[in-house]
Every structure is written in C-alpha cells, then in structure tokens.
Amino acid sequence: MGIKQGIKRLVFNLSSGLADMLYRRPYRDPEGKTRLKTEDSLLHLDLVITECCTRKCRDCSNLMQYYQCPEHLSSDDVIRDLDKLLDCLRVDELKILGGEPFANQTVLSDVLRYLSGKAGERVGKINIITNGTVIPSDDCMEAMKTNFKALVTFSNYGDVSSRQDEFIALCKENGINYILLDSSFYWLDFGRPVEYEESEDFVKRQYKYCFNRKNCNTLYRGGFYVCARQAHGIHLGLLPDVKSDYVDLKDPKYSDNDALRRDILGIVRRKQPVSACRYCINGKYIHVPKAVQK
Ligand code: SF4
Ligand code: SF4
C-alpha cells in the first residue's frame, strides 16, 4: 500500500465522516459552471454495452445484481445510439461499462473500431471500466491497441478482481494505457431500489451533491438517463418509468438534432431530482465495503 493510500485508510479508521469530507468531497462541483454553459458537448457519458457481469456485488449501485436474465446489447444498437448522440454533441470523456464490458468483447471491439474512425474525433477520452476478471481476446486487444484514446480503468476489488494482475501485464506488454483505482476506498450504500420515506429536502440535497448525477449520465438501450441506476432500475421495472425523467432517442421528434441536443442538455442541467432519487439513499453517506459478493 502506498503512503497516500495508507493515510487515507488511517483517516477512514479515525472517522469515516472526515474521510468523506477530505476525499469524497460531495459539496465540490468543479465542473458545475462548465456543465451549465457548454452548448455543444457533454463532459462525461457512461455507455452501457451489457447487463451481464462476472460478479454479483451485493451493493452494486447500478442494480446489476437484480438482473435474472441479463443480456448483451448488440453492436448495431449501441453504435446506432452513440452515433445519434455524437451527431449533435461531442463527449469529453466516454466511459464504456456494463456490467462487465469485457464480458461482451465483440461489441466492445466494434465500438472501439467505430471510435477509431470519424466519430472518434467527437470524443476526447475513452475509458473502459473493468472489474479485472476477464482477459481480453486477441481481437479485443488489437481494437484497444489501435485506438490510441483507449484507457482501461481497473476498479481493483482485491481478490474479487481475480485476473487483474494478468490483464495489467498484458496492457504493459501491448502498450495499452491503464489506471488502477485505489483499493482502500469504500463504497457508499445506495440502498435497495425501494421507495424511501425521506423528506423532499433530503432528496433534493442528495441529488444536488450526487457524484453520479455530475459524472455518470448514461446512454443505455436508446435512452439518455441522469445515472445508470435510474436507467437499469426503469428497465428492470424496479423504478417508476417517468418519461420526462429521461430522453428517448427513438422518439421521432429527435430526427431534429437541435431538439435532441436541447433535451439531453436539459437532463444534464436538470435542477430537480428524478423519480429514481426517491429510491436511493447515497446521500446518507453510509459506508459499505467494496464488492461484497452475494
Ligand atoms: S459493481 Fe461492478 S463488478 Fe460489481 S456487480 Fe456491479 S458492475 Fe459488476
Ligand atoms: S438515483 Fe438520483 S441520487 Fe441516486 S445515483 Fe441516481 S441521480 Fe444520484
């Protein structure tokens, strides 16, 4: 463990609240002003390519543990939706995730190849988020190698990330950029997807300071959502499907790019919580250990 991680763990052991203040800093929103004034780009976009995961984390905030019959998305569908979005907005950071994106390597490779072409000029960084349990195929390695914007982020769940070391060795060997996240950090408990009896003030405050609202707007199955929890919760039938809470790219009115851009930016800048926030308690800052398996 490095010195910084050691200090972080010490602070956390002293007071988890102090650790939140120092490291999580929910009240900070350094991109807030940019988010409000940028008209032609998104700062971050999470692109879901599969509902399948190689792990079943009890506290997965994105609700992947609730899928009984998870499915991969198809290359055609993912690329069609991404293409439509990129046609009207640039994306500074595109995160590709699942579930576990390397569980759906054919689509991952296709998306990376698509982003090696013209469309890739409209994307700043490409960040593939993995739990480090699957080794990429030769084809997928090639797709990552040939897209110079590709970066692999290892979530680093200790023993749960069973093939991480092997995967990192491959990245080094093949000149693929990667980041290893700090394993000492804990998760926040987002709670089960049930309606909580919290006050309006709590829900508003939770939404305002929510990390996912600021950093994890999500493109999934033709919808643009505030966060992945909302996206999956609606698809799973666990959260209310309120049409005004997201943008349905398949709506015929979005043959007009200006309308699509305006409505996506409306979600990004939305001040009022979405219905899903009443089914979430991340604003209580309850700490849980990372990646506990069900
Ligand atoms: S937290 Fe990551 S590894 Fe765990 S179930 Fe969710 S997507 Fe899978
Ligand atoms: S449901 Fe609301 S509070 Fe919960 S993660 Fe999504 S945006 Fe944040």
- Say what the pLDDT of residue 3 is: 82
Is there a contact between 242 and 277 (Cβ–Cβ < 8 Å)?
Answer: no
Is there a contact between 81 and 249 (Cβ–Cβ < 8 Å)?
Answer: yes
The verdict on residue 90 lying in a domain is yes
> CATH number, domain at 95?
3.20.20
The verdict on residue 16 lying in a domain is no
Is there a contact between 277 and 208 (Cβ–Cβ < 8 Å)?
Answer: no
- 61 in ligand 1 pocket by Cβ < 6 Å? no
Give the ligand with the smallest distance to the CA of 228. 2
- 55 in ligand 1 pocket by Cβ < 6 Å? yes
Q: Number of structural domains, the chain? A: 1
Residue 156 CA, ligand 1 centroid: distance in Å: 11
Measured between alpha carbons, how far is 267 from 45 in angstroms, rounded to an integer? 12
The verdict on residue 150 lying in a domain is yes
Give the ligand with the smallest distance to the CA of 100. 1
Tokens 């090639």, residue located = 142
The verdict on residue 10 lying in a domain is no
The angle, 0 to 180 degrees and rounded to 10, between the axes of the packed helices 138-146 and 164-174 is 50
Residues of the chain below pLDDT 70: 1, 16, 184
Q: Quick one: what percent of the chain has pLDDT higher than 70?
A: 98
The verdict on residue 24 lying in a domain is no
The verdict on residue 50 lying in a domain is yes
The verdict on residue 9 lying in a domain is no
Sorted by sequence, the CB contacts under 8 Å of residue 281 that are 6+ apart come out as: 189, 190, 191, 196, 198, 206
- 120 in ligand 1 pocket by Cβ < 6 Å? no
Residue 40 CA, ligand 1 centroid: distance in Å: 32
The verdict on residue 12 lying in a domain is no
Residue 209 CA, ligand 2 centroid: distance in Å: 9
Q: State which residues form the domain around 173.
A: 40-288
- Say what the pLDDT of residue 123 is: 98
Buried b (16+ CB within 10 A) or exposed e, 258-291: eebbebbbebbeeeebbbbbbbbbbbebeeeebb
- Say what the pLDDT of residue 183 is: 75
Determine the atom of ligand 1 nearest the C-alpha atom of 56: 5
The structure's pTM equals 0.94
Tokens 């120092």, residue located = 22
Closest protein CA for atom 1 of ligand 1: 60
